[in-house]
Chain A
Amino acid sequence: MNSTTNSQLLKGSLSVMLLRLLEDREKMYGYEITQKVKELTAGKMTITEGALYPALHKLEAEGLLTTETQVVDGRARKYYSLTKTGQTKAVGRIAELNAFLENLNLVLNLKPSL
């Protein structure tokens, strides 16, 4: 997939992806998230750092994510995890995106009229 197209398609769904990943794992740090997405999509989808961190910071400011700092290999590492509100919102937003994708599929798979 073209990287520009990829990033444009990602824009609206990035925060939901982050919520879903953090719903699955107790806590994750920025670099780990980029690698997890790459691994899950076999390298077909990449999240750039320039898109990831603003999204994480925004979710944190909205109160959906909380952070904790741990010392790993002698340096500070910031871990993100879902707050109680984040857990509730994640379920709703994932369902919303799923419903949207189903509808999008209906339109994209439109059979040509006879």
Chain B
Amino acid sequence: MHLTHEQARQIDSHLRSNLTKVQWWHQDEFVAELTDHYITGISERMERGMPFEAALQDVFAGFGKRAGLERLELNYRMLRAKEDRRAMMRLMVSYFGFPRLFISLPLITLLFQVKTIVPSFLDYGYPLLLITNGMGLLAWLFKNRLAHLGKFQAAAQRLTAPFRKAFNWGTLVFAIELFSSPLLTGTSSPYVATFLYTISILFSLSLTKLEKTYTLRRRIVN
């Protein structure tokens, strides 16, 4: 039995209200699996003469109601997070092998050269902090205070992502400079800084790559 558009919408809102509101990478895939189970289960029960609402509650009970659904979601998120961490590690390690070594090797050389010429960005700490915090403040304003921006709302929304990115990178640069400063690491400062910068950039590249893979998979699911 085919469910009506309204019944499908009810299932969707039922699932969304009984799952956590947190956004995570594999959420669409997880919700799609549950939706398919709900639709198949409800259709079959309705064919046996059960009303839609009772069928929905019956399937819901099978999952252990709200607590069961939340437990299932948490369990799946944890399993997938473990998988994601492994995938990230594999991607990062791949930058030290052929052919990605052609990206990482020049990157390391360049970073080391920069760190030898400019021993510490902390010399520019004050303006760096000011710019970083400014970006963070703008990102927050554009994201949370859109109502005050009138006709510029759409443009402001588009600007949020790069500002947040600039804030994150600015904070990271500040933290790396702090932890690799000659005061803490002595003469090995440029090596420590190069290492930390390399890891951060490779992490970011791997994360973007992994995210792209999941976006593609999400498109297939939807």
Binding site for B on A (CB under 8 A): 29-31, 48-50, 53-54, 57-58, 60-61, 69, 72-73, 75-78
B125 within 8 A of A: no
Contact between chains at B83 and A61 (CB < 8 Å): yes
B75 within 8 A of A: yes
Find chain B residues with CB under 8 A from A78 CB.
Answer: 29, 32-33, 36
Binding site for A on B (CB under 8 A): 2, 29, 32-33, 35-37, 39-41, 59, 62-64, 68, 71-72, 75-76, 79-80, 82-83, 220-222
Q: Please, how many angstroms separate the alpha-carbon atoms of A31 and B222 in the complex?
A: 20
Show 24 residue pairs from A and B whose CB-CB distance is below 8 angstroms, ordered by the A residue.
A31-B37, A48-B62, A48-B64, A49-B62, A49-B64, A49-B68, A50-B72, A53-B76, A54-B71, A54-B76, A58-B79, A61-B79, A61-B80, A61-B82, A61-B83, A69-B29, A75-B32, A75-B35, A75-B36, A75-B39, A76-B36, A77-B36, A78-B29, A78-B33
Q: Please, how many angstroms separate the alpha-carbon atoms of A44 and B82 in the complex?
A: 36
Contact between chains at B36 and A50 (CB < 8 Å): no
Closest 6 CB pairs of A and B: A50-B64, A61-B79, A50-B68, A49-B62, A76-B32, A31-B40
Q: Please, how many angstroms separate the alpha-carbon atoms of A56 and B33 in the complex?
A: 12
Contact between chains at B37 and A30 (CB < 8 Å): yes
Q: Please, how many angstroms separate the alpha-carbon atoms of A61 and B64 in the complex?
A: 22
Contact between chains at B63 and A49 (CB < 8 Å): yes
**Known contacts A61-B82, A61-B83, A69-B220; A49 and B32 CB within 8 A of each other:** no
Having A49-B62, A54-B76, A61-B79, one finds 20 other A-B pairs with CB under 8 Å, namely A30-B33, A30-B36, A48-B62, A48-B63, A49-B63, A49-B68, A50-B63, A50-B71, A54-B75, A57-B75, A58-B79, A61-B80, A61-B82, A61-B83, A72-B36, A75-B32, A75-B36, A76-B32, A76-B220, A78-B33
Find chain A residues with CB under 8 A from B29 CB.
Answer: 69, 78
Q: Please, how many angstroms separate the alpha-carbon atoms of A75 and B63 in the complex?
A: 20
Q: Please, how many angstroms separate the alpha-carbon atoms of A75 and B33 in the complex?
A: 9
Find chain B residues with CB under 8 A from A75 CB.
Answer: 32, 35-36, 39
Find chain B residues with CB under 8 A from A72 CB.
Answer: 36
**Known contacts A58-B79, A76-B221; A31 and B35 CB within 8 A of each other:** no
Q: Please, how many angstroms separate the alpha-carbon atoms of A88 and B64 in the complex?
A: 33
Find chain B residues with CB under 8 A from A31 CB.
Answer: 36-37, 40-41
Q: Pick the most buried of B33, B41, B64, B79: most chain A CB atoms within 10 A of its CB.
A: B33
Find chain A residues with CB under 8 A from B40 CB.
Answer: 31
Q: Please, how many angstroms separate the alpha-carbon atoms of A75 and B32 in the complex?
A: 8
Q: Please, how many angstroms separate the alpha-carbon atoms of A50 and B71 in the complex?
A: 9
Find chain A residues with CB under 8 A from B83 CB.
Answer: 61
Find chain B residues with CB under 8 A from A50 CB.
Answer: 62-64, 68, 71-72
Min Cβ gap A68→B in Å is 10
In the complex formed, the residue of A with least CB distance to B60 is: A49
Contact between chains at B221 and A69 (CB < 8 Å): yes
Q: Please, how many angstroms separate the alpha-carbon atoms of A77 and B63 in the complex?
A: 18
In the complex formed, the residue of B with least CB distance to A77 is: B36
Find chain B residues with CB under 8 A from A49 CB.
Answer: 37, 59, 62-64, 68
